[in-house]
Amino acid sequence: MKDIYILGIESSCDETSFSIVKNGTDEIATVISSQIDIHKKYGGVVPEIASRAHIKNITFVLEECLEKANMKMEDIDAIAVTYGPGLIGSLLVGVECAKTLAYLYNKPLVPVHHISGHIYANNLIKRLEFPLIALVISGGHTELIYMQKDYDFQKLGGTLDDAVGECYDKVGRVINVEYPGGPVIDRLATVGSHTYDLPIPLNDDSYNFSFSGLKSAVINLAHNEAQRGHELNKEDLAKSFQDVVVETLTKKTMKAIKEYQVKNFILAGGVAANKGIRSKFQELCEENKINYTFPSIKYSTDNAAMIASSGYYAYILGRRADLTLNPVSSVELK
Ligand code: KG4
Ligand code: ZN
């Protein structure tokens, strides 16, 4: 069979990225231009600044990716682009770029859902095996998904309010660490002890999550400690917080794995880079003889390699968009 090369484009938040992936599994070249340093001083992503930075970077990142792959646009079989969900101005830059390339080079245009990209980041490590349960944890999402085959996404539950990554970043602000707080809290937790008492949120039988209560509990704790003239121990708070997050995520995920009788589990999304979450899932999966795959740390957060991988299966299934494709800030995974 002829090899299929997909050019992936990702610009849904603050990373401008292009990647070329062969046959859905073999990464040829990827370039990611992160805007974290630009947004750091504001303590979060500023949408207007993000879209402008994408516009400034996009052609350079494309050129660098083609150069790295030693390929030309003519060698590409299809263009896969994140059309949503995400920041609308940021998405627009990637989608317009994809449409222009598709028109200029007469290539098929394949729309990719950002979350399916995060799921398929695992496909670059090892071909997905079905049926599986995927836990998607990122700055904007917290979802448990059941898949029986490629592109068959059944949502079992999700967050009712804040996403896990959002909660990490907000707790990061409370303890005054730089944006994004997630990786910093993860680091602090490795040297802290579980000394603070925080509630396990939405501790019920559903597959839904809630993180706004946990965030408020951390804010209240910080206020109370300040009023008492106590200094907050950042490492201990990080460890106490992370333990609660790990307990919440693993409990519901392992329940889904048992109920749906699957033997395969994958983690996905930016928060999948978290060491505490990885090590607990590894321990539980080994104990219960469940095959598990985690995305590489590099491709846990936003990148175009995952979009190109997911785009390959969308392409094979005949999913296409025409030049009227518009980005959408909020859209269900399908
Ligand atoms: O997937 P992603 O790049 O963007 C979204 O699609 O949302 O995820 C970014 C999120 C941020 O909230 C960041 O703090 C979090 O992933 N994150 C982490 C870690 N690395 C990134 N959270 C906890 N521990 C980490 N090691
Ligand atoms: Zn993402």
Q: Is the CB of 169 under 6 A from ligand 1?
A: yes
For a substitution probing ligand 1, which of 178, 301, 329 has the most ligand atoms within 8 Å of its CB? Answer: 301
Q: How far is the CA of 127 from the centre of ligand 2 (A)?
A: 20
**Residue 37 Cα to ligand 1 middle (Å):** 15
Distant-in-sequence, close-in-space partners of 259: CB < 8 Å, separation ≥ 6: none
Q: Cβ(180) to ligand 1 under 6 A? A: yes
Q: How far is the CA of 13 from the centre of ligand 2 (A)?
A: 8
What are the structural domain ranges in the chain?
5-120+299-316, 128-294
- 165: Cβ below 6 Å to ligand 1? yes
Query: Taking the domain 128-294, which CATH number applies?
Result: 3.30.420.40
What is the C-alpha to C-alpha distance for residues 156 and 252, in angstroms, rounded to an integer?
A: 10
Residue 266's nearest CA partner among 163, 256, 19 is 256
User: Which ligand number lies closest to the CA of residue 272?
Assistant: 1
CA of 299 to the centre of ligand 1 (A): 11
Cβ–Cβ under 8 Å, residues 104 and 76: no
Q: Show pLDDT as tens, one digit a residue, over the chain (334 residues).
A: 899 999 999 999 999 999 999 999 999 999 999 988 888 888 888 999 999 999 999 999 999 999 999 999 999 999 999 999 999 999 999 999 999 999 999 999 999 999 999 999 999 999 999 999 999 999 999 999 999 999 999 999 999 999 999 999 999 999 999 999 999 999 999 999 999 999 999 999 999 999 999 999 999 999 999 999 999 999 999 999 999 999 999 999 999 999 999 999 999 999 999 999 999 999 999 999 999 999 999 999 999 999 999 999 999 999 999 999 999 999 999 9
Its pTM surpasses 0.85: yes
Q: Looking at the domain covering 5-120+299-316, what would its CATH class be?
A: alpha beta
